[in-house]
Amino acid sequence: MAEDYCPAAAASHNCHTNCPMKKALFLSLFLAWVNGAEAQKPHLEALSRYYNPALKPFYHGVASGDPTPHSVMIWTKITLDTEQPTSVRWELASDSLFSNVQKNGEAPTNPSRNGTVLVDVDGLAPNTYYFYRFSHGAATSTTGRTKTAPTGQPKQVKMAVVSCSNFEAGYFNAYALLARRDDIDVVLHLGDYIYEYKTGGFGNKKLTRKNIPETEIVALDDYRARYSLYRLDPDLQLVHARHPFITIWDDHEIANDAYTEGAQNHQPDEEGDWETRKNAARQAYFEWLPVRRGSGENLYRHFSFGGLADLWMLDGRLEGRTKQAKSANDPDFAADSRRMLGEQQLQWLTQGMKQSTATWRVIGNQVFLSSVDASKVFKQNPKFMDMWDGYPAARNRLFDFFETNNMKNIVVVTGDSHTSWAFDLVKNPHTPATYDPQTGKGVVGVEFCVPSVTSANYDEYVARWKAKIASRRFSKGGINPHVRYRDLVHHGYVLLTLTPAAATAEWHHVKRILKPTRKEKRAATRTYSPQNKGM
């Protein structure tokens, strides 16, 4: 309801300052603002232990995101000694000394948006680095660097791809390593930016890194506090200040195995109304990440990198996903009514891909699009019900679209699994009549799956030797011939390099996550070229 709307005016008279309905509305808004500020105080004391006094009042650093050729979002949060509406000044310059300021202005914020500031800066030059900062009174934030997207026919675009960063599972060394790189155009975060669990619920209990709040996050201020904790991590601050991000959520930004009408980790009798929780999670996400919102509450969106690449970032959780089947024996398992994206998002994706003239069509995706036969590893669960395999009608419909339109230039980047994979992207990999890994018959593209930043992979559940045996079993007897690379035991990130001739993925694995480190290794490289019939 808008602040100047008075129901009585519509019925009988013009609204004015003495209108009792308007006074009641202002009072309710004021009380909501006060109550919102009061509700956060129990978490603020715990969070303040992580504040770096030198950064006051911009303890959470800066960030940028959603670059287009002529605009970029810039973000910060201001934390004052008292909760009150305020504004901050911002500047964007072509140099780090701000001797050539290109854009500047003021941006308001208040407790209703948790003191976060988000500015959509436009009128910029394409494929250009910029520097930005915020100020309030005599205080100035750290300086961030960002970059706009290219136009024309760029020779190369390099994307860093990450997912699954669990604060309690380890140190964000992958973020620190990415912050040191100077060859990245943008960072794609494919979800599980935060985790919703209580302290000790999912992580390494030996570490001193503990969640705030200690309970599972359910309410708006719980989600805000958890984002605050993550954004106080110095490695996450560094990578945000160094590179623009394009993000999507997966399930843990809300609750484990989330879908439109619920989640595995949500019990209404214990955690309240699902819609209330979901809306709280969405609000906190849009407050804390540099995301450009269009009409409505949709997160899925499209980006262009000149004639080289189009990128579609999908929402495979809240937009249209129906509940997961219990198993492939579920009577409704293959029903057409079971959806992953929802009809509106699917039409948006397929129409956009069909109209695209870019060399590469890139999809940012949460869970495996490729089919995987896990019968040699998980005999009771040979198919993963939370992945596209669990939605066969929706998966077939998408692959039918790829094949009907003779697409061979698709690159899917996927998170969620905490492990590293490369797949030939093919509809029926287990059917020799329609897929030949030697000739590339049936291949419409490639899927590159990124390891986690910290979230547990196989060797954090079982001994490493057992994890390596499990890895071999995924290809035992040739059951998954479309798998071109696989690693189940390392953490890190992927560098995706796109050129007019090829799409190349490099898996970079960090030495460890239980202690800070700046050591990494390039574990594998896979290159896809439609002209060369695959990887």
Annotated domain spans of the chain: 53-147, 157-532
Per the listing, tokens 């709280």 go with 280
What pTM, to 2 d.p., does this model score?
Answer: 0.91
CB atoms < 10 A from the CB of 32, how many? 12
Residue 10 is predicted with a pLDDT of 30
**Which of 223, 226, 243, 246 lies closest to 235, judged by CA?**
243
pLDDT beneath 70, residues of the chain: 1-42, 294-296, 533-534
d(CA 449, CA 446): 10
- What tokens does 530 get? 């439609």
CATH 2.60.40.380 fits 53-147, yes or no: yes
The pLDDT of residue 467: 86
Both tokens assigned to 465: 């030797």
pLDDT at 169: 97
Burial class (CB in 10 A: 0-12, 13-18, 19+), 208: exposed
362 phi, psi to nearest 5 deg: -110, 135
Residue 128: C-alpha distances to residues 73, 146, 151, 156 (Å): 14, 8, 11, 14
Q: Write down the pLDDT at residue 295.
A: 63
143: left (phi over 0), alpha (psi -120 to 50) or beta: beta
Sequence-separated (6 or more) residues with CB below 8 Å from residue 251: 191, 192, 257, 258, 263, 317, 366
pLDDT of residue 533: 66
**272: helix, coil or strand?**
coil
pLDDT recorded at residue 14: 35
The CATH number assigned to the domain with range 157-532 reads: 3.60.21.70
The pLDDT, as a whole number, for residue 35 is: 43
Amino acid at 251: D
